[in-house]
Amino acid sequence: MTADPLHRDRYSRQAILPGIGESGQQSLAMAHAVVVGCGALGCGIIDQLARAGVGHLTLIDRDVVEWSNLQRQTLFDEADARSGQPKAIAAQRRAGAINSSLNISAQIADLNHENAVSLVVGNARPDLILDGTDNFETRYLLNDLAVTRNIPLIYGGVIARRGMQMTIRPGHGPCLRCVFPEPSSNGETETCDTAGVLGAAVSIVSSLQAAAAIDLIVDPARDFRPSLTEFDLATTRFRSIDLSNLATPQARAGCICCGKARYEFLSGERTRPAVTLCGRGAFQIPAGPSRIDLSRLASNVARVSPVTANEFFVRIIPREGVEMTVFADSRAVVRGTANEGEARALYDRYVGA
């Protein structure tokens, strides 16, 4: 720990906490955390870890800042939305302004099975991975990566006024697929873009994630009790579900990931096929494994965007000049977008990954 009095003063209220101290502060300064997704959860996590003095942060995100982000994505401002700054870059700049002593790197990338190892693990294994993503495919990919590389993963999820958090410690408790074996099928789940999300609910989940990260860094050997915390602000009900029963190797034997060692998302086996160009300014998202309930999708989307539907397809207008047609087999054609990444992002936003 540096003897710099300003440095000491900065962390004084945290270092006096039982269980942290100067040595905990030193551990935080030496730690490397990878935050995947710099959206709502990512912003909250990054803000808190930067202020807490986590010395090395790697930030990964594929999107740019939009006006609809400002209500809950606390690292961004109007200038970022106006100029369409990449979120990873805007978050890096803001976190660096909060705490200039940190080493913060930013990657503008869509994390997938081909680049996940190099983006997350890179040249040096990080101490932990924080999930700030918004889709299950990427979450399961991170879970595969965490289990194969023995890296703790701090999962968080939020929608509407509800949220949940779970810390995954490979070898010490259940992985994400022990608890949620399969992603919900396309069109069956709501997304934050169709169901909405309260900024206050986001802050709770990102705080639970940041607290779990700090605890893990400060004392990795501490007694670990696997649990899932969930809440609903509509009823102000919080509960913690004890997952100790899933902690034994016998209990995990049936898990396809940490029990059977089949890493379907990291191997690419379960990855959605690539987006293809179909005609001028149009991209096709190929069909996934499950069919879509079109009437349910139409009613979810109708709350936020113009939509027309019939028995064959749902046509969504995300913004003027852009049109996405989703078919019952989960295939979609997106017209009027600039690139395939945007086509995929629109699909994830409205249909869900």
The owner of tokens 């959860």 is 41
Structure tokens at 307: 């939509």
Rounded distance between C-alpha atoms, residue 188 and residue 209, angstroms? 26
CB of 165 to Zn ion, least distance (A): 17
C-beta of 175 vs 351, nearer to Zn ion: 175
Rounded distance between C-alpha atoms, residue 341 and residue 320, angstroms? 18
CB of 179 to Zn ion, least distance (A): 8
Rounded distance between C-alpha atoms, residue 290 and residue 296, angstroms? 14
User: Is residue 29 part of the contact set for Zn ion (CB under 5 A)?
Assistant: no
User: Is residue 228 part of the contact set for Zn ion (CB under 5 A)?
Assistant: no
CB of 264 to Zn ion, least distance (A): 12
CB of 143 to Zn ion, least distance (A): 8
CB of 22 to Zn ion, least distance (A): 37
C-beta of 65 vs 257, nearer to Zn ion: 257
State the number of binding residues for Zn ion (CB under 5 A): 6
* 42: alpha, beta or left? (left if phi > 0; alpha if psi -120 to 50): alpha
C-beta of 59 vs 257, nearer to Zn ion: 257
C-beta of 159 vs 178, nearer to Zn ion: 178
CA neighbor of 309 nearest in space, from 322, 288, 292, 326: 326
User: Is residue 50 part of the contact set for Zn ion (CB under 5 A)?
Assistant: no
Rounded distance between C-alpha atoms, residue 176 and residue 129, angstroms? 13
C-beta of 94 vs 177, nearer to Zn ion: 177
CB of 68 to Zn ion, least distance (A): 35
**Interface map 166-185 toward Zn ion (x if CB under 5 A):** ---------x-xx-------
CB of 149 to Zn ion, least distance (A): 15
Burial class (CB in 10 A: 0-12, 13-18, 19+), 315: middle
| Cα dist from 347 to 40, 219, 326, whole Å | 19, 41, 9
**From 36-44, 83-91, 190-198, 251-259, span contacting Zn ion (CB under 5 A):** 251-259
**Interface map 124-163 toward Zn ion (x if CB under 5 A):** ----------------------------------------
C-beta of 106 vs 176, nearer to Zn ion: 176
Rounded distance between C-alpha atoms, residue 173 and residue 183, angstroms? 20
**From 21-29, 193-201, 254-262, 271-279, span contacting Zn ion (CB under 5 A):** 254-262
> CA 263, 173, 117: angle at the middle one, nearest 5?
35
CB of 176 to Zn ion, least distance (A): 7
| Cα dist from 202 to 60, 212, 345, whole Å | 19, 15, 20
**From 19-27, 36-44, 257-265, 321-329, span contacting Zn ion (CB under 5 A):** 257-265
User: Is residue 266 part of the contact set for Zn ion (CB under 5 A)?
Assistant: no
C-beta of 137 vs 348, nearer to Zn ion: 137
Binding stretches for Zn ion (CB under 5 A): 175, 177-178, 255, 257-258
